[in-house]
Structure 1
Amino acid sequence: MTRIGITGHRSIPRAARPEILHRLVSELKAPADEALSCLADGADQLFAAVAVEARVPLTAVIPADDYEEHLGSAAAVARYRRLLASCTRTVRMPYRVSGPPAYAAAGHWIVDHVDHLIAVWDGLPARGLGGTAQIAAYAREVHVPVTVVWPQGVVRA
């Protein structure tokens, strides 16, 4: 069984989206038996949508009870709900309130349950606990292969 997880930025510049989407499709074309995502706006939702389209069973890892309230825009919430309804499994972290500790726990849970992690990451340091760089570093510490996906020359705001 091959399980692939995602960590990545919520904010993806428009110029980066086509290449990131292409790379995610390529990564999920390889035999994948399960895709794991927190379904956050940005990289997580792109990855989850690609997994659903490729008919790879999707597992949602929900950081906290109030997570949906922290997703941002109405469009992000609508995509979250649609993707969540497509999941074959849902794992809920034991946090009532969203925030860095819950995000870090969810990211670590994904790493601990995958064979490969995709990081949609500009290579810069994490902006906080549970950020993309921190989760990618944790994966490397525990010897989970990480594939970084980010177009050269694109800067995130």
Structure 2
Amino acid sequence: MATYAVTGHIDLTHKSVGLVRAALREVFARHTEGELVGVSCIAAGADSIFAEELLAAGGRLVVVLPSRDYRQAKVKPEHAETFDRLGSAAAEVVVMPHETADRSAYEAANAELLRRGDRLVAVWDGAPPSGKGGGTADTVLAAREAGLAVDVVWPEGAARRG
């Protein structure tokens, strides 16, 4: 069994979504031994794309939510249906012991992702940490420091909005 944790950008361009989906399918197609398990916070963007492709590949989804209020406080209306569908499809939902979704809650959720994962799939453009903490680059650095294998997924032509 291999457990893949995910971190990635929420602000992918429309064109990038298809490119990232195809790249994630390739990652999961390489998995041939034992059960396929993925751990995701199912945020908009990379986290949800990862979860959808994992489920499509027959994997078991574990959802980690940063706080008790995450759904109400942070999930935007345009992502709510996807978030709810993925949460319902999860084999397990873990809610971190934080009341509110803040920096410490995100950092705790990322630590839990890394604790549960054997590998980290990073949908990441390679940009350095923003200094806010809890972002994609921070999670990649923490995974590398912990000795976890990191698979960077940033296909040719992928871009962020903005």
| C-alpha displacement of 1:126 | 2.6
| C-alpha displacement of 1:129 | 1.0
| C-alpha displacement of 1:28 | 1.6
Where does 1:37-52 land on structure 2 (aligned, <5 Å)?
37-52=40-55
* Count of matched residue positions in the alignment of Structure 1 and Structure 2: 157
Query: 2:68 maps to which residue?
Result: 65
Where does 1:42-121 land on structure 2 (aligned, <5 Å)?
42-121=45-124
The question of 1:122 aligning with 2:125 is answered yes
| C-alpha displacement of 1:113 | 1.2
Structure 2: gaps (5+ residues): none
Query: 2:18 maps to which residue?
Result: 18
How far apart in 2 are the matches of 1:120 and 1:151?
A: 9
Query: 1:9 maps to which residue?
Result: 9
Structure 1: gaps (5+ residues): none
Choose 67-76 or 102-111, whichever is displaced more. 67-76
Q: Which amino acid is 2:90 matched to?
A: C
The normalised TM-score by structure 2 is 0.90
Quick one: structure 1 residues 153 and 25, their matched pair in 2 at CA, closer, same or farther if it must change by over 3 Å?
closer
Contact 2:23 2:155 in 1 (8 A): no
Choose 2-11 or 119-128, whichever is displaced more. 119-128
How far apart in 2 are the matches of 1:7 and 1:49?
A: 14
How far apart in 2 are the matches of 1:144 and 1:96?
A: 29
The question of 1:144 aligning with 2:148 is answered yes
How far apart in 1 are the matches of 2:44 and 2:94?
A: 18
How far apart in 1 are the matches of 2:140 and 2:64?
A: 17
Q: Deviations over 1:35-68 (max 9, x none)?
A: 1000100000000011111120100001001111
How far apart in 2 are the matches of 1:26 and 1:151?
A: 11
Q: Which amino acid is 2:133 matched to?
A: L
Q: Does the residue aligned with 1:91 lie in a helix, a strand or coil? A: strand
CA RMSD of aligned residues (A): 1.4
